[in-house]
Amino acid sequence: MKLWGGRFEKSTAPEMDALGSSIGFDRRLAFEDVRINRAYSRELRAVGVLTDAELATILEGLDRVEAELRTHPPLEDEDIHTAVERMLAASIDDPEIASKVPTGRSRNDLSVTELRLYLASALDSTLEAVTQLEKALVEAASRCRDALLPGYTHLRRGQPVVFAQYLLAYFWALDRDRDRLRAARGRALGLALGAGALAGNPFGIDRGRLAEELGFESVLPNSIDAISSRDHLLELLSAAAILGTNLSRMSEDLILWSSAEYGFVVIDEAYATGSSLMPQKRNPDSLELIRGKSGRLAGNLVSLLTTVKGLPTGYQRDLQEDKEPVFDTLDTLHLVLPVMEGVIRTLEIDRDQMSRALSPDLLATDLAEYLVRKGVAFRNAHGIVGQVLRKASEKGVAPGELTVSELREFSPLFDDGVAEVWDYQKSVERRDSEGGVSLRAIDEQIQKAAQRL
Amino acid sequence: MKLWGGRFEKSTAPEMDALGSSIGFDRRLAFEDVRINRAYSRELRAVGVLTDAELATILEGLDRVEAELRTHPPLEDEDIHTAVERMLAASIDDPEIASKVPTGRSRNDLSVTELRLYLASALDSTLEAVTQLEKALVEAASRCRDALLPGYTHLRRGQPVVFAQYLLAYFWALDRDRDRLRAARGRALGLALGAGALAGNPFGIDRGRLAEELGFESVLPNSIDAISSRDHLLELLSAAAILGTNLSRMSEDLILWSSAEYGFVVIDEAYATGSSLMPQKRNPDSLELIRGKSGRLAGNLVSLLTTVKGLPTGYQRDLQEDKEPVFDTLDTLHLVLPVMEGVIRTLEIDRDQMSRALSPDLLATDLAEYLVRKGVAFRNAHGIVGQVLRKASEKGVAPGELTVSELREFSPLFDDGVAEVWDYQKSVERRDSEGGVSLRAIDEQIQKAAQRL
Amino acid sequence: MKLWGGRFEKSTAPEMDALGSSIGFDRRLAFEDVRINRAYSRELRAVGVLTDAELATILEGLDRVEAELRTHPPLEDEDIHTAVERMLAASIDDPEIASKVPTGRSRNDLSVTELRLYLASALDSTLEAVTQLEKALVEAASRCRDALLPGYTHLRRGQPVVFAQYLLAYFWALDRDRDRLRAARGRALGLALGAGALAGNPFGIDRGRLAEELGFESVLPNSIDAISSRDHLLELLSAAAILGTNLSRMSEDLILWSSAEYGFVVIDEAYATGSSLMPQKRNPDSLELIRGKSGRLAGNLVSLLTTVKGLPTGYQRDLQEDKEPVFDTLDTLHLVLPVMEGVIRTLEIDRDQMSRALSPDLLATDLAEYLVRKGVAFRNAHGIVGQVLRKASEKGVAPGELTVSELREFSPLFDDGVAEVWDYQKSVERRDSEGGVSLRAIDEQIQKAAQRL
Amino acid sequence: MKLWGGRFEKSTAPEMDALGSSIGFDRRLAFEDVRINRAYSRELRAVGVLTDAELATILEGLDRVEAELRTHPPLEDEDIHTAVERMLAASIDDPEIASKVPTGRSRNDLSVTELRLYLASALDSTLEAVTQLEKALVEAASRCRDALLPGYTHLRRGQPVVFAQYLLAYFWALDRDRDRLRAARGRALGLALGAGALAGNPFGIDRGRLAEELGFESVLPNSIDAISSRDHLLELLSAAAILGTNLSRMSEDLILWSSAEYGFVVIDEAYATGSSLMPQKRNPDSLELIRGKSGRLAGNLVSLLTTVKGLPTGYQRDLQEDKEPVFDTLDTLHLVLPVMEGVIRTLEIDRDQMSRALSPDLLATDLAEYLVRKGVAFRNAHGIVGQVLRKASEKGVAPGELTVSELREFSPLFDDGVAEVWDYQKSVERRDSEGGVSLRAIDEQIQKAAQRL
């Protein structure tokens, strides 16, 4: 069965059917299709296209269709709308009644509405998964408030920080991701139904009532825009691609830190795998896969950006290509988020190994600041410390092992108080401005994070 | 002058300097650099690093630097921060005072803060340009409320609509773009300054006060996130790329409609160009360029997505690559938006030509709906009309030229009232649900649009 | 069964299994896996790891596995290599013999080899499909050697050309695409097997002999490169994405030309579809889908580019993400190429409608050239013709309707010979340099094209 | 001056001029423009459009223009072709002679030809830079033929390899990149000139002779294809983007290996930079920038892919957007390749530190292979070794410290010969198949590499 073709004299070529068929992926929208058919039929009753009896027949038929969809998902029709229309006709005694359902409606407005409805609920679970991961991060941060380790820039040890600061950095990035996904969800929840093929509905359908019944937040105010626009999907794909890059960066950190060379953390075996050849291997595959999947999230975005670029306004069949990247992106998020949450929840940290990575040269900045507090201009202090470090390096000692008199060669302001500089804990405590790494600042930050959840 | 290197024994290779230099593009942030230096110096005074006299000297110096930047933009330094620091030292008697300004600060938090500040004002003018274009569309729509033309799907004439419906479709798409850009602006306005290189500020700086002074809406709550994250830039690049696809679709429409084949609109000569070879040509170059530039907007997004993918958290020098795509995207928007606005403001429409493109087969849907109103199930009505169209085609007449008795061969329900179907104006008026193309629906929509502005 | 894990104390988390499983897509490589197992086992016999009897047992087992794969494709294993290893063990009496097959081999070199082998044959059929499409174009061009129509630039009518010139333009673009795909195929055919996990093979395997047996063109000369590099896949994805843009442009042309506004060609009904709402519609869905699918081809390329960016050398699990974009790209080409071929083979052209689109202003360039031949400098001639066109436009006549004396107002060089200018056929014939649109040049071009096939 | 507009009544809007101007970037093609003007003028002489005297005048004028271009590059014209035409007219006494040069030519075929000519020479220097980098790698590999270190997969130590194997892995990847760039260069060298605006040349120009004079390898055989196609640029951008990912992976390796955690190599100070805040830092900025710039190479590719997608065949003004991504990509390659070469040429390796990273568990595979050589099926041997490793781990000793009798608990085949397994050098020597890491295999590989250069 095809929903068109009355005027056609020829059937489509098999390679054309293969190219055009969408049932392979749009059958995922089957239950949204049924749900919309219910609501739309009620509306057809309200405007007099259907009688009460016809409506009852249709609703019963749709119940049967829904049950059948659960057990026998359709595979052969051109698309899911055709399948549901065919199944409905088969499920009631008078198939003519079924064929009243699409009155004033087109696949253009129907399929757009289905996808929007699907997104709303799919994104609910995505948002929940992000939230769970955020919670895991806050909890882990609470446990590592005081675990000292080097903070890195350029993958070079920079200054002492606490491990919680990294976990909370992830938190805030994800929190922005959540906001973006939520905005995308909101934008998805505009009702397209009632736009018809492009010109609107001629049977007096009340779109506001339809929106309310289906759980949409607004009615799309322009019939052409409703069937033509895909920017809400691009927004979702963008938000997901950005989230993907954030997850890729977390993964990179954790892969490095769990390596023999760093040894700061241990990835639980439940999230690691071995090698088919090398018996000793324990690989962080979970994180590598999460990092790798940032590629497909970016690819899905580019796919749809490219497809819609330069299309004329209105429905073009090119737009059938909107669903697969969206589904793949949602599936990908549903795969990676719980794994990242599991990795974080089970992450063991090795405080000793973290400590061992601290070395006095990480306090070079503190040494410069020591001089600043004594009145040296910062740029000069920076230069003096550079000389101190060279001297220590030439002598083959740590800078903290230079005597005060050796230090005085570079500045007369050094005195015994300089010993305080060489304490990692104190260094961290000095960074007490909002957002810093002192215990107080971290606790304040954890509270803020908890409030966001 | 370099801001680092005390510990280095060797100078960098010339090819390295060429690769690393950013003054070619980050000098655009010169005034933000000065502005931030002012605010930060005040804060250094507040915490006692500077004396009142030193602060005064610095502020006067910064005034001189600002003036010099206007007339002699620096070209040779490694980056704009180095340039301003050098110029400040040169502009005051005691250069040591200048060298106190960077106390507790790093290029990491400074450069991020500059770019965020720059974005806020650049996006203000982008948002204004979008708004102006939206206004032009609403005004044009008001002038074309009743200009009938075919509505297209698949670039095939579908049903009669009014030209205003197209213009308003553009409006709503742009309105969502504006929302996305505004969200990106909001996200940009978090203060990074005070994050230092990564570990926060050890001199008791009040970041809330700094944020207020500089016009930021919030303080970024984590020092590592502050210097490391770029998702706010990706969000902006995404919003712009999506806007780009919306503009590319408008352009495609207008290019087609202004062609000899359609002739619906005339692009003003101010936005057209000729050919160096073919004297008769009048080409819609403005719209072609706008359509073409959707490519660079997508490219800029991919550029930064790729760059940040898989980076460890923390500042990595790769992130220097964040500025050029952002600047190019903003510049591109500033080029294309006013041109699109000009095209719309000066667009002439040719109602006669639009009318000539209407033909009775565009009312096939109305004919089916006629039967529906008489009780025929829609799917059957669709089939009957398919046969009617074939018949008319075989006879070589328009479907409206078939007699009622000829029509009755296909359904006994046809009667004289069918004549009403063949009226384009009435067809449009029947599509009166919210978002439809009836005059009433269009007026309602124009009001809604006006409220958004 | 897992091929690793002897050292593990814990099983993987279910969400980790879901994330890591690749059998859903790599089972497509099942027959390559078997084929490679056969060749590798023979090599293990040659170096003495297997006895003749063991080899015979294994080969018989692999035959049974191959048969079973055809009827019962595995769905539950971690990946296809695990599945085949499990099935082989199950298919022979002494499973220990089966467990000798992976000696000295890793999934790293095995899976890379499988994909390369798969590509070679998949690309053979892609190349054949491109060739068929090229043939269809040459044949169609031969039929339209003299069908005059406007040549377009900027979607504005420029100069008269023949329709064959467009069809041949497509031919040459596709011919370059074929060259690129062929180069990608050649690059794929390097043997990775024998690289082990990364360090090479310690059992004296003769990789040259293996390459020959499996049909590879060369042996990859470095074990780390062999398991790590994916640039041959990126090259294939690029070639396909570029082909996609070429097909998208052909589609755009044909969609426009088959519209009511142009009417130059008719798309056969076998490659068109109708509307579920508007009974009169006949939409060029085939071409829209081909145009739309250029998006996913670009997306697949970006997906893998992003995934491999910044990965350390060596196998990382991220690289498991290499297969799906490649499979999707190959599938997409296999869907779209035959449809485009069918569209071209069945394309009807409407010479009358093409002629009607010719108008004298398309000969403005010829008029300028007429003056050039009389000694006027081209830039001046261009200017004079501009004035002539304006004059004609003001008078409301075609430029060819101006009298010679009217023309002489603009240049005394006009004489009665100017009448020759207004002949479209002659205009075309004048463009007789290589690659031009004269009949002679077209015939020469068709011959060249035929030679390429 | 504009090269068109005779028929226009209005001048273009200033914002349109801003949008359309290309002199800012296409002035880079100034010398190609002059060179083509010379060749084309000679051809115009050959076909009689110019006299000998006119040709002489023009050639002298072009010499003056060329000299002026060197000292006073034009900044104000619409594009470089307009600038050169204007300058030529100004440089000779009778400007009318200058205005004969564009006879039969269009900016469409001219600008495409210029860019192709430019590419050929720009790619020559790119290819040379790749070759130099390849040479540096082979030389470095020759110096590190026997430097043992762990080979990594999943960023986990896998098996012992030699450092040369990594350097040579880079070599082979770059060698494929060079092949791809060379193919792109070849594809660029087709002559477009003579295609006119789209329909060919009506003055009998000999395009074969022109091609020869200008150094093109072939004549593009179709005038529409010549002015419309951009796939040769996409091919170049793809080749560069792929090269970018290869460089990003090398960078990632070297950044890691030069970190405190690995310490395998030292980046020369000439390619490192310091921190403005942290005096002790020595950051691998060179490599980070190279890694980061892989983003813009991917972005440039996507930019043009998106721009050309869905364009009708023929010149569209969108195609003006082809130059900037191409120039930016070439510039980027010219920046990064010499820096990478410098990094490799000056790279210090630390053999001691590499050795320290070797540990007996990296020989687990060798232990399994030991059992294989004694007749144990590999999969069983893999399991036995897993148990051995656990045992050693429980005992807190290295696996090589287990006694033979302890080992016999797991397999009776262990005997005193097992001691040989624990020798890293022997492990490497066993991997002697083509492409492996034995000294012999490495030397063979170095020879092959040298032959490629």
Per-residue pLDDT tens digits for A32-63: 999 999 999 999 999 999 999 999 999 999 99
pLDDT in tens, B395-436: 999 998 999 999 999 999 999 999 999 999 999 999 999 999
Q: Is A34 exposed, middle or buried (0-12, 13-18, 19+ CB in 10 A)?
A: buried
pLDDT over 90 (residue D273): no
Residue written as tokens 């505009």?
A: A190
**What average pLDDT does the segment D55-82 reach?**
95
Mean pLDDT (chain C, rounded): 95
Side chain identity at B292, as an amino acid letter? G
Closest chain D residue to the Cα of B82, Cα to Cα: D276
pLDDT band (50, 70, 90) for residue C7: low
Between chains, do D8 and B269 touch, taking CB under 8 Å as contact? yes
- pLDDT given at position C275: 76
Closest approach of A262 to chain C, Cα-based (Å)? 16
DSSP codes of every residue in A184-211 = HHHHH-EE-TT-TTTT--SS---HHHHH
Closest chain A residue to the Cα of C82, Cα to Cα: A276
pLDDT over 90 (residue C282): no
pLDDT band (50, 70, 90) for residue A222: very high
**Distance (Å, whole) CA D281 – CA B2:** 14
Between chains, do B224 and A169 touch, taking CB under 8 Å as contact? yes
**Distance (Å, whole) CA D142 – CA D157:** 24
Mean pLDDT (chain D, rounded): 95
Q: What are phi and psi of C156, to 5 degrees?
A: -120, 140
**What average pLDDT does the segment D350-369 reach?**
95
Type and span of the H or E element at C81: helix C80-91
Residue written as tokens 């490519």?
A: B295
pLDDT over 90 (residue D33): yes
**What average pLDDT does the segment A158-178 reach?**
98
Please, which residues have CB within 8 angstroms of residue C186's CB and are 6 or more apart in sequence?
C217
The answer to whether the beta carbons of residues C270 and C344 sit under 8 Å apart is no
Its pTM surpasses 0.90: yes
Residue written as tokens 């690691």?
A: A272
- pLDDT given at position A68: 97
**What average pLDDT does the segment C411-430 reach?**
95
**What average pLDDT does the segment C24-49 reach?**
97
**Distance (Å, whole) CA A304 – CA B218:** 34
**What average pLDDT does the segment B201-224 reach?**
97
pLDDT over 90 (residue A290): yes
**What average pLDDT does the segment D254-270 reach?**
96
For residue B45, give the nearest of B90, B85, B97 by alpha carbon: B97
Mean pLDDT (chain A, rounded): 95
Kindly give the pairing relationship between strand B265-266 and strand D148-153: unpaired
Closest approach of B349 to chain C, Cα-based (Å)? 17
Enumerate the residues of chain C whose CB falls inside 8 A of the CB of residue A338.
15
**Distance (Å, whole) CA C177 – CA C130:** 8
Q: Look at the alpha carbons of A98, A99, A101, A106 in this order and tell me if their dihedral is positive or negative.
A: positive
**Distance (Å, whole) CA D309 – CA D318:** 11
- pLDDT given at position C8: 74
pLDDT band (50, 70, 90) for residue C279: confident
pLDDT over 90 (residue D371): yes
pLDDT in tens, A323-361: 999 999 999 999 999 999 999 999 999 999 999 999 999
pLDDT over 90 (residue B256): yes
**What average pLDDT does the segment C168-175 reach?**
98
Q: Which chains touch C (3 or more CB pairs under 8 A)?
A: A, B, D
Between chains, do A284 and D154 touch, taking CB under 8 Å as contact? yes
Enumerate the residues of chain C whose CB falls inside 8 A of the CB of residue A298.
302-303, 306
Q: What percent of chain C has pLDDT over 90?
A: 92
- pLDDT given at position D9: 77
CB atoms within 10 A of CB B262: 24
Please, which residues have CB within 8 angstroms of residue D14's CB and are 6 or more apart in sequence?
none
Please, which residues have CB within 8 angstroms of residue D42's CB and are 6 or more apart in sequence?
D55, D213
Residue written as tokens 């050169």?
A: D84
Q: Mark whether A154 is an active-site residue.
A: yes
- pLDDT given at position A7: 66
The active-site residue out of D154, D276, D405, D433 is D154
Closest chain D residue to the Cα of A282, Cα to Cα: D156
- pLDDT given at position A6: 63
Q: What percent of chain A has pLDDT over 70?
A: 99
Q: What percent of chain A has pLDDT over 90?
A: 92
- Domains in chain B, start-ordered, CATH in brackets? 14-103 (1.10.275.10), 108-356 (1.20.200.10), 361-422 (1.10.40.30)
pLDDT band (50, 70, 90) for residue A86: very high
**What average pLDDT does the segment C324-340 reach?**
98
**Distance (Å, whole) CA C295 – CA C325:** 12
Closest approach of C269 to chain D, Cα-based (Å)? 23
- pLDDT given at position C310: 97
The number of CA neighbours under 13 Å toward the Cβ of B244 is 33
**Distance (Å, whole) CA D303 – CA A327:** 25
- pLDDT given at position B4: 64
Enumerate the residues of chain B whose CB falls inside 8 A of the CB of residue A441.
200
pLDDT in tens, C133-156: 999 999 999 999 999 999 999 999
**What average pLDDT does the segment C169-191 reach?**
98
Closest chain D residue to the Cα of B278, Cα to Cα: D197
- pLDDT given at position D2: 72
For residue B340, give the nearest of B449, B177, B145 by alpha carbon: B177
The number of CA neighbours under 13 Å toward the Cβ of D399 is 27
pLDDT band (50, 70, 90) for residue D143: very high
pLDDT band (50, 70, 90) for residue A280: confident
Q: Cα A92 to the chain's mean position, in Å? A: 43
Measured CA to CA in angstroms, residue A211 lies from A37, A100, A220, B176 at distances of 13, 21, 10, 19
Closest approach of D322 to chain B, Cα-based (Å)? 9
pLDDT in tens, C346-394: 999 999 999 999 999 999 999 999 999 999 999 999 999 989 998 998 9
Q: What are phi and psi of D150, to 5 degrees?
A: -70, 140
pLDDT over 90 (residue A149): yes
Please, which residues have CB within 8 angstroms of residue A451's CB and are 6 or more apart in sequence?
none
pLDDT band (50, 70, 90) for residue B348: very high
Q: Look at the alpha carbons of C211, C214, C215, C216 in this order and tell me if their dihedral is positive or negative.
A: negative
Q: Which chains touch D (3 or more CB pairs under 8 A)?
A: A, B, C
**What average pLDDT does the segment A259-263 reach?**
96
Closest approach of D346 to chain A, Cα-based (Å)? 20
Enumerate the residues of chain B whose CB falls inside 8 A of the CB of residue A199.
151, 158-161, 165, 428, 431, 436-437
- pLDDT given at position A1: 62
Helix (H, G, I), strand (E, B) or coil at A423: coil
Between chains, do A311 and D310 touch, taking CB under 8 Å as contact? yes
**DSSP state for residue C273 in the 8-state scheme:** B
**What average pLDDT does the segment C241-258 reach?**
98
DSSP strand E in B154-275: where? Answer: 156-162, 190-191, 218-219, 265-266
pLDDT band (50, 70, 90) for residue B281: confident
> Interior CA angle at C36 toward C30 and C41, to 5°?
130
Residues of chain D contacting A, Cβ within 8 Å: 153-159, 255-256, 259-262, 275-285, 288, 302, 305-306, 309-311, 357, 361-362, 364-365, 367-368, 382, 385-386, 389
Which range is most confident: A92-101, A214-223, D383-392?
A214-223
pLDDT band (50, 70, 90) for residue D133: very high
**Distance (Å, whole) CA C185 – CA C239:** 10
Between chains, do D15 and B197 touch, taking CB under 8 Å as contact? no
Closest approach of A113 to chain B, Cα-based (Å)? 15
pLDDT in tens, C116-139: 999 999 999 999 999 999 999 999
C5: alpha, beta or left, given left = phi > 0 and alpha = psi -120 to 50? Answer: left
pLDDT band (50, 70, 90) for residue D278: confident
Type and span of the H or E element at B323: helix B323-345
**Distance (Å, whole) CA D260 – CA D20:** 52
**Distance (Å, whole) CA D225 – CA C137:** 14
Number of helices and strands in chain C (H, E) = 19, 6
The answer to whether the beta carbons of residues C140 and C417 sit under 8 Å apart is no
Q: Mark whether A275 is an active-site residue.
A: yes
Q: What are phi and psi of A72, to 5 degrees?
A: -130, 75
Q: Cα B208 to the chain's mean position, in Å? A: 31
Enumerate the residues of chain D whose CB falls inside 8 A of the CB of residue A310.
309-311
For residue C297, give the nearest of C334, C332, C341 by alpha carbon: C332
Q: What percent of chain D has pLDDT over 90?
A: 92
- pLDDT given at position A5: 62
Q: What are phi and psi of B21, to 5 degrees?
A: -65, 135
Structure tokens at A447: 């509270």
Q: Which residues of C carry out catalysis? A: 154, 275
The answer to whether the beta carbons of residues C160 and C427 sit under 8 Å apart is yes
The active-site residue out of B72, B154, B276, B405 is B154
Q: Nearest Cβ partner of B318 from D9, D15, D289?
A: D289
Measured CA to CA in angstroms, residue A298 lies from A365, B90, C268, C302 at distances of 39, 47, 37, 7
Closest chain C residue to the Cα of B151, Cα to Cα: C278
Enumerate the residues of chain A whose CB falls inside 8 A of the CB of residue B242.
231, 234-235, 238, 305
Q: Nearest Cβ partner of C320 from A108, A277, A292?
A: A292
Enumerate the residues of chain A whose CB falls inside 8 A of the CB of residue C318.
288-289, 291-292, 295
- Residue B371's beta-bridge partner residues? none
Listed range (A155-169, A273-287, C415-429) with the worst mean pLDDT: A273-287
Closest chain D residue to the Cα of A393, Cα to Cα: D280
User: How is chain D split among helix, strand and coil, in percent rounded to 5?
Assistant: 65, 5, 30
For residue D308, give the nearest of B293, C174, C334 by alpha carbon: B293
- pLDDT given at position D176: 98
**Distance (Å, whole) CA D302 – CA D325:** 9
- pLDDT given at position C281: 76
Helix (H, G, I), strand (E, B) or coil at D225: helix
Side chain identity at D101, as an amino acid letter? V
Q: What percent of chain B has pLDDT over 70?
A: 99
- pLDDT given at position D4: 64
| Helices C323-345/C285-308 angle, 10° precision | 160
DSSP codes of every residue in C281-326 = --B-HHHHHHHHHHHHHHHHHHHHHHHHTTPPSS--GGGGGGHHHH
Structure tokens at D138: 């082979």
Q: Is D268 exposed, middle or buried (0-12, 13-18, 19+ CB in 10 A)?
A: middle
pLDDT over 80 (residue C3): no
Helix (H, G, I), strand (E, B) or coil at A312: coil
pLDDT in tens, D192-212: 999 999 999 999 999 999 999
Helix (H, G, I), strand (E, B) or coil at B161: strand
Mean pLDDT (chain B, rounded): 95
pLDDT band (50, 70, 90) for residue C2: confident
**Distance (Å, whole) CA D355 – CA D424:** 9
- pLDDT given at position A274: 81
Q: What is the ipTM of this complex?
A: 0.96
